[in-house]
Structure 1
């Protein structure tokens, strides 16, 4: 069990500009009124006392507790988790609103230090709990239904038993964490947020988000200028990014070696509560499908664009037939809410407060973290969604995606702090399903073949980005960590690993410009959450199978779906998916999801005829 920390699993009214309307901004007062609010001091002080008292009451005594006393112990631990999570959520969300504000950065660092120091006495808990005899624990769970509720949490904790270090070493690692990975994460975030890009033809220097956004511009010259500006700045900073990756991969290798992890990926699989062979089956199915998915689609796209080969700046280009349009905030909101309500009115009801109560921060602002995320904060408050909304049609899908996370987090909150968190493999289910509902609504409303083609092509590109691109990212990480185990990697070494997976996954339709080899540098997941990326492909494949069950009229689908989201992390994926007749351990399962993408490409090819 660990304290909650906000992570972009990279997530006054701001004006959107360009006719987007007034974009919502976070109201963080549901967490704390301000950084100097007396409640912040009160909760930090409470945490110091509560953690010390918890250790005094329970350290060295867990084996002697009866079921009722063990339940009281777990409940006290959960309350500490809520307060620590609330503090870190407030500090983290304020920081992500403006990572260039040194006051916000200091406040987050100070809160993190206080929490790390306060919670150090708790390190004994999971270590001592994992030493409990299996038969004894089974007896406790049998004796108290309230305690038995937490069995999934205990199972996840005890999965770490073979990899546990001595109590003293675990305490050391806990204390040292603030100058380890989290410090390198902060350096990466602050460096990225501070980068500016001089793009030919633009009046002023742009930040990362705005420069990446130009890669979807209708003007090919603008796209090329953006790609070259990205390459120039990444190259200038490549030594720093290589240092970040070298250090984090080495730190992970040291920790994994001491913990006797069989592979760099194993810790992620354990925390996801998913079997390595299930992930391997997903990875192999996607790689085998590259030729019929990405390779085939990009050849089709080159033909539409009148090009012999595509350049990297054409990968996310709009189609020549696509009329450029900007989607205002009100239209985006209406589109997503109607799609949600069309599936089940309950879903729209849960989503409504995000728009009305300051739970979304949508505008692009200087210093704001790039990307988008939904952060659950703690189960006693509510989630917050971060977007960088620029009015692109894809931004509507991002809203549908993050709002799906938000709905999932609201529903799962009923499980309480320790059971609400969904393993990453299922954490993308509601978000991708929300996107699919929105896409199907738009597709059904298409008035012309050209409009249908644009929508289908956009969805195929999103699915390729979610499935093919993320599995290529996963392969890149696997290669990076394996190579780092053999020694220090130069920037050229890392560049070569990146290009090997890019060429394999994108196919022969692409010619890769000089400089593209450094584009690994800006992907935050490699830094924040090693091996997280397969969760996106996992979520897409799973949702394609779920949507097929929904479309085929599976009886009671909506209720089953809500029950699955409400379960949070309280059930294993086998149990969660059984009501839908789905089994992830079946190797053929992933092929079904990939067939849906191939089917869309079939339809696009048929339109050519």
Structure 2
């Protein structure tokens, strides 16, 4: 049986060596194809044949495929070593190239959005198959589109503007070294390594770990706060003032092809159900023999007297395969491909990006997965989560590159569902004591991925509003603290040092308003999982159908075809009913 070992990924399928003539040829081919595409401009006519239109779309797909491949190489090489000057330089070079290519093919996008009448648009879309909804969705942006020259300016300035600010934030924060005393010895750690101590059984160590992280961000709040304010102002200037979107979050909603009403409904229900998790935190305090949790204790092992089980990397990989395989052999095969092709980077090392992600570059290439594996049970769940993303992409691999990726709110569905399958599988193999630990951890995780993420989004709405009117970094931190007070009510004691925590959240910088996608995906996955529990194997086909749609259908439409009305508050409440049930089950194990 194959043994899986920690290591780095192999990016040679994307590029052998960025300094080689072969890589330069890849760039040249792409540039030549984009130049050739520019010549189409004079032939564009709403009355063109649907066959001609289809051929143009195929060229867009080909250019996207080539750009994703070389841009993806640069991005992944940078993630595996953010401190490498070579990787940083290549990343900058490829961002610039991406901007130039986008500018060269931009005219077609603008023509389609703004210059084709409804009658001809309907005729041209007739033979585009899976791209029909994507093309219809594109036309929704007509009222937010600018002239070609204006769009080119924005694309060009983004490379040294917003993208550069995000890269600067990453470079500063990934270079942070954290010094903490463990058993009278000072250890120098990455944030990833230090985060393990947030889950220590020792309350003093938990507190010190948090304070070590928060102090580092407080010391640098001037710079990283200024970066955030400028990112938010850029979002406002371009989105609201230049393009005319209704609100900052509306920009993300329209980009996600989801209605404002659906997201309002989701956030309202999350806010209304904060008491579900508050009950859990009060219960967890009892399990830890405390009167009340401090915020430092939030992720403390709930059964501190029971030794936490460690998992080897090989054991973890096989557990995830087994969990997916019990549900569907197809999904297990998809997960195995990531390892068979060595598209996974799993070891912890200095300079490597924190956290975990899955990167899908094109339908023709198996996704790449990055994790920082340290052997804790949460690492096994992270592995299941990221492989869930990889499974989702591969389920939609027969789609065009233009519609393979699910819109953001659906993007967390397969990842969360994979975690639920893993939990289901593991709970059959462990003792009641171990089950108590795992269930408490699972509810911790549901808090972190549902309630916490929705309150992150509520904070972002407030922060964008404050910054647009002119504010200070300290006022942003006060607003964040207020947000935490509403989340926890009287269930957790909050200290003021958590006010700066917002600046530790990369999503606020990388992708404003991304976070509600976690709440959306998790609550949706809970509903799908409950359906699976009722219907058993009959549900498998329906689930794979949802994944294989990729981004070819609007979320509301796709899910309504499978009996889910996501505009309704009742739908989101069902997810919280499941969480409430888990809290009661934990109570019965104590």
TM-score, normalised relative to structure 1: 0.93
- Residues 452-488 of structure 1: CA distance to partner in whole angstroms, max 9, x if unpaired? 222211111110111010011001100000111111x
Deviation of 1:48 after TM superposition, in Å, equals: 1.6
Distance 2:497 2:213 in 1: 9
Q: Is the 8 A contact 1:242 1:491 kept in 2?
A: yes
Q: Is 2:586 the partner of 1:604?
A: yes
Cα distance, 1:603–1:179 mapped onto 2, change above 3 Å:
same
Distance 2:152 2:481 in 1: 40
Deviation of 1:584 after TM superposition, in Å, equals: 0.8
Distance 1:606 1:264 in 2: 44
Q: Secondary structure at the match of 1:23?
A: coil
- Residues 393-440 of structure 1: CA distance to partner in whole angstroms, max 9, x if unpaired? 011000000000001111212102111011011111110000000011
Q: Is the 8 A contact 1:311 1:511 kept in 2?
A: yes
Distance 1:586 1:179 in 2: 42
Q: Is 2:555 the partner of 1:580?
A: no
> Aligned residue for 1:378?
362
Deviation of 1:24 after TM superposition, in Å, equals: 3.2
Q: Secondary structure at the match of 1:204?
A: strand
Q: Is the 8 A contact 1:351 1:407 kept in 2?
A: yes
Map 1:325-336 to 2 at 5 A.
325-336=309-320
Further displaced range: 580-589 or 423-432? 580-589
Q: Is the 8 A contact 2:559 2:565 kept in 1?
A: yes
Q: Is 2:198 the partner of 1:215?
A: yes
Deviation of 1:60 after TM superposition, in Å, equals: 6.6
Distance 1:244 1:141 in 2: 43
Distance 1:59 1:96 in 2: 41
Deviation of 1:356 after TM superposition, in Å, equals: 2.6
Further displaced range: 380-389 or 501-510? 501-510
Distance 1:60 1:189 in 2: 43
Deviation of 1:72 after TM superposition, in Å, equals: 0.6
- Residues 559-582 of structure 1: CA distance to partner in whole angstroms, max 9, x if unpaired? 121122111111222342245321
2:550 pairs, out of 557, 564, 568, with: 568
Cα distance, 1:62–1:317 mapped onto 2, change above 3 Å:
farther
Structure 2: gaps spanning 5 or more residues? none
Distance 1:47 1:607 in 2: 60
- Residues 175-195 of structure 1: CA distance to partner in whole angstroms, max 9, x if unpaired? 111011100010011011100
1:424 pairs, out of 379, 401, 408, with: 408
> Aligned residue for 2:540?
558
> Aligned residue for 1:304?
287
Q: Is the 8 A contact 1:98 1:368 kept in 2?
A: yes
> Aligned residue for 2:61?
78
Further displaced range: 116-125 or 207-216? 116-125
Cα distance, 1:396–1:59 mapped onto 2, change above 3 Å:
farther
Structure 1: gaps spanning 5 or more residues? 1-19
Distance 1:441 1:555 in 2: 16
> Aligned residue for 1:14?
none
Q: Is 2:118 the partner of 1:137?
A: no
Q: Is the 8 A contact 2:324 2:332 kept in 1?
A: yes
Q: What's the RMSD between the two structures over aligned residues?
A: 1.6
Map 1:329-368 to 2 at 5 A.
329-368=313-352
2:167 pairs, out of 170, 183, 186, with: 186
- Residues 238-259 of structure 1: CA distance to partner in whole angstroms, max 9, x if unpaired? 0111101110110111112111
Map 1:229-248 to 2 at 5 A.
229-248=212-231
Q: Is the 8 A contact 1:242 1:494 kept in 2?
A: no
Distance 2:295 2:267 in 1: 24
> Aligned residue for 1:93?
76
TM-score, normalised relative to structure 2: 0.96
Q: Secondary structure at the match of 1:581?
A: coil
Deviation of 1:531 after TM superposition, in Å, equals: 0.3
Cα distance, 1:59–1:459 mapped onto 2, change above 3 Å:
farther
> Aligned residue for 2:491?
509
1:195 pairs, out of 152, 166, 176, with: 176
